[in-house]
Structure 1
């Protein structure tokens, strides 16, 4: 038998000032989900992670459930800096951050990455094509053409801030097709890339725990670099046709 509904006289109606204060608190709160890939200590969150964030004011961390935490900021600027400077990782495990909502419903299926796009042909090195390339990786937020010298070496590449789905394999290259039937391949390099499977491109396990990789019966004596070069399935590439 369901419990009787409260009468209006017995129900507690929060005052407007209380509601506004709660709303302001929620606006300064993030929820983080750690994509568990390898073991980590809880102290890594309260110590190393917050130290890396370098907030101006203290951050209150509250465990919610397994691998999920609530981060309460005192100042909006600290919260925005954390979102802008990601992605973040806890001992190599990707940390997904989303804004708090009163329904406590979060997807934790995407995050922002800085992606470098290398080997772009010189005649295609412009913002229009760079934006199209970035859109093949995810949802572009910022696209920059980088050319000059870094550490004494000449460089030329596209740097893009892209919102990426982490439930799909991480792409490593894009094939650019021309009307002339010629094609070229550009390479993707992700900045501050946390632990993930070099074979299938997913974030929830490493290659040594990859079911697809184990089915190939490939010697585990290969180095990670060799696996990255040779064990990349076709699903990690993308084609783009330029008209």
Structure 2
């Protein structure tokens, strides 16, 4: 195949990447672009013009007119429309939209059932790294985190994999004697539609191709894994900085 150099200056070319977001709606259905646009316009209430362009297969490009609107949407991600998760990615100069990877999305996860002596930032970091890519543990100090009855952890989840429901905590006394095990549960804030059979986001149990109906009955997934949003007790939101090309993390909110 021949090569072509398009590096020469062009009066019609303009770098708008810093005002654009690329996103995909995780659903097997093709949704109506106008309906989606109307929903997001009404929820986001951008201060200036927002252009939404479809690139096929539920992939879209947002082009904002003001950086404040761009930052707000990333600050308050992830979002969902009609119960379906939107996976957002910043656009960077030179990136090809068809090559975007829509696997990763940030979530706040609540960890319930930990013994009081395990309610510490370092244990939250261990749990967060087990969940996926750790972003932060909600903490005002490095001591015991007794401000809530649960640990709250920010992670980037691989949305192509099943949600982790929790784990069994093995305990021992100071002398090394075994104690009763504790069942620790994960609850995901602002969780969009997911499959109760396989635990993956982006489809329901009527269209699951990963697990049989019989096995899905005993999967343990249900509404108990979902929870509402709680107020962040750490640093205030609204300080989003444009990330490097390699990746990004943002604080989040969901739209239903």
TM-score range, shorter chain: 0.7 to 0.9
Q: Higher helix fraction: Structure 1 or Structure 2?
A: 1
Give the corresponding residue for 2:95.
103
Q: 1:131 to 1:78 in 2, by over 3 A?
A: same
Displacement of 1:73 in angstroms is 1.2
Question: Which has the greater radius of gyration?
Answer: 1
| Structure 2: runs of 5 or more not aligned | 140-144, 225-256
Q: More deviation in 182-191 or 165-174?
A: 182-191
Structure with the higher fraction of residues in strand conformation? 1
Cα deviation for residue 205 of structure 1 reads 1.4
Aligned to 2:213: 214
State the aligned residue count. 210
Asked if 1 retains the 8 angstrom alpha-carbon contact of 2:198 and 2:216, the reply is: no
- Map 1:70-219; keep pairs closer than 5 Å: 70-101=61-92, 102-104=94-96, 105-145=99-139, 147=146, 155-178=148-171, 180=176, 181-182=178-179, 183-211=181-209, 212-216=211-215
Q: Deviation digits for residues 26-53 of structure 1, max 9, x if unmatched?
A: 1111111111145643333211123222
Gaps of 5+ in 1: 149-154, 231-243
Query: In structure 1, what is the equivalent of residue 8 of structure 2?
Result: 13
Cross-structure match for 1:152: none
* Counterpart contact for 2:19–2:67, Cα < 8 Å: yes
User: Which residue of structure 1 aligns with residue 46 of structure 2?
Assistant: 55
Q: TM-score normalized by structure 1? A: 0.74
In 1, distance between residues paired with 2:102 and 2:7? 33
Q: CA deviation at 1:174?
A: 2.4
Q: Deviations over 1:119-158 (max 9, x none)?
A: 111010111111211222122222115755xxxxxx5111
Distance of aligned partners of 1:126 and 1:106 in 2 relative to their CA distance in 1, 3 Å threshold: same
Give the TM-score of the pair, scaled to structure 2.
0.71
Query: Residue 229 and residue 98 in structure 1: after superposition, are their counterparts in 2 closer, same or farther (change >3 A)?
Result: closer
